[in-house]
Amino acid sequence: SSTPLKIAVTGAAGQIGYSLLFRLASGALGDRPVELRLLEITPALKALEGVVMELDDCAFPTLAGVEIGDDAETIFDGVNLALLVGAKPRGPGMERGDLLSANGAIFTAQGKALNKVAADDVRIGVTGNPANTNALIAMSNAPDIPRERFSALTRLDHNRAISQLAAKTGAPVTDITKMTIWGNHSATQYPDLFHAEVAGRNAAEAVGDQDWLENTFIPTVAKRGAAIIEARGSSSAASAASATIDAARDWLHGSAEGDWVSMAVVSDGSYGVQEGLISSFPVTTSNGDWSIVQGLEIDDFSRGRIDASVAELADEKAAVTELGLI
C-alpha cells in the first residue's frame, strides 16, 4: 500500500532516536513510505527540531512526513506502530521505587493516549527501561488495545547472544538460529544455548563447554550494556536502535522460516511463566502477530534461570501494583 505507515517514536531527541529515526526514514521497515510522529518532553523540542532538519537534509524518498510535539494524544493520533523509547533514566541516589514511579507516570499516560487515538492495527514496542514493566504499565492502561499488541525489547540481548556464540564457534552469524532470551531485559535475563543451533547443530553441544556457557557467555550477554557504558562513556544507542528496527520489521513482516526471535510479550502461562507478565520468549511472527514457540524441553539448569528472571518480573509487577500504576 502507498498510504504511509504512521510510526510514533518517543524520546526522539535522545541517543537511540538519533540512530533510529534515520533508519526508519530510509526504509529499514520496507519500501512503504513512513510518516514519523515524534514525541519529546517540552525542553527537548528544540533539539528535536535540529534532528528534523537533518532528516529533511537526507531527502529520503521513503519519508512522507514528520510531525513533532510534546502532547501524546496529538502525536499518537492514527499511528500504526509506536516505538516507546523515551524513559526516565535512573539518577544518582534514585531507589528502584522512584524509578518505577517516574516511568509509571510516563507509561500510564502514553498507554491511555494510545488507547484513545492509535490506529486499530497499532503495534507497540517498548525500548525504554525498565522495558518489560513499562510495557506492562502501558498495556494495563490501554484496555481497548488487544494485549498481544504490546511487546518489550529483548532483541538487543538476542543479537548480542548470537554475536557471542558466533565468535566462540567461528561460525558466521547467519549460521546461528533459534536463539532465545527468556525473562526480563535485565541482568537476570537467561540467554539459552540449549535450543539454539550452529549450522543446524545444537549450540550447547557445538560449544561443548558448560563452564564457558555459565561463567562467560551468560554474564557477557547479560552485562553487555554495562560493558558498553564502561568503554564508550554512554549507553548502547546504535545497537539498541538496530535491535528496535529488527524487532519491528520481524513483527510486521514475519520471522524467518525455520527460525525464531526473542520478544517480551504477555505470558499465557507457557513454560510456567506467570500469566499476564511481560516476559521474553522464543516467538515466531507472521502477518503482524506473534506466537510463543511451544514444546521446548526445559532442563533443571534452564528452569532455575528462567524462574529467577520471572521472579524479578513478578516483583516489579507487585511494586507497580502497590504504586497504583496498573
Residue with nearest beta carbon to ligand NAX = 14
Cell digits of residue 44: 527537548
Active-site option among 158, 185, 195, 253: 185
Write down the least CB distance from residue 222 to ligand NAX, Å: 12
Nearer to ligand NAX, 101 or 235 (CB): 235
The answer on whether 25 is annotated among ligand-binding residues is no
Write down the least CB distance from residue 106 to ligand NAX, Å: 4
The answer on whether 224 is annotated among ligand-binding residues is no
Nearer to ligand NAX, 47 or 119 (CB): 47
Write down the least CB distance from residue 229 to ligand NAX, Å: 9
106: three-class secondary structure by DSSP: helix
The answer on whether 189 is annotated among ligand-binding residues is no
Is the torsion defined by CA of 2, 142, 42, 84 positive or negative?
negative
Nearer to ligand NAX, 280 or 285 (CB): 280
Nearer to ligand NAX, 223 or 303 (CB): 223
Query: Could you tell me what percentage of the chain is helix, strand and coil, using 3-state DSSP and rounding each to the nearest 5?
Result: 45, 20, 35
Write down the least CB distance from residue 241 to ligand NAX, Å: 8
Task: Work out the angle at residue 149's Cα, subtended by the Cα atoms of residues 10 and 125, and round it to the nearest 5 degrees.
Answer: 30
The answer on whether 274 is annotated among ligand-binding residues is no
Residue for cell digits 507497540?
Answer: 124
The answer on whether 14 is annotated among ligand-binding residues is yes
DSSP character for 223?
T
99: three-class secondary structure by DSSP: helix
Q: How many CB atoms lie within 10 A of CB 319?
A: 17
Nearer to ligand NAX, 33 or 125 (CB): 125
Asked if 7 and 37 count as a contact pair (C-beta separation under 8 A), the reply is: yes
The answer on whether 15 is annotated among ligand-binding residues is yes
Give the pairing of strands 150-152 and 176-177: unpaired
> Omega of the bond prior to 4 within 30 degrees of 0, cis?
no
Q: How far apart (Å, rounded) are the C-alpha atoms in residues 322 and 98?
A: 13
**Contacts with ligand NAX, residue ranges (CB under 6 A):** 10-11, 13-17, 39-41, 44, 85-89, 106, 127-129, 131, 153, 156, 185, 225, 235-237, 240
Write down the least CB distance from residue 136 to ligand NAX, Å: 14
Q: How far apart (Å, rounded) are the C-alpha atoms in residues 305 and 113?
A: 36
- Nearest to residue 125, comparing CAs of 243, 273, 222? 243
185 is catalytic: yes
Query: Which residues are annotated binding-site positions?
Result: 11-17, 90, 96, 103, 110, 127-129, 160
Question: Which residues are the active-site residues?
Answer: 185
Query: Which residues are annotated binding-site positions for substrate?
Result: 90, 96, 129, 160
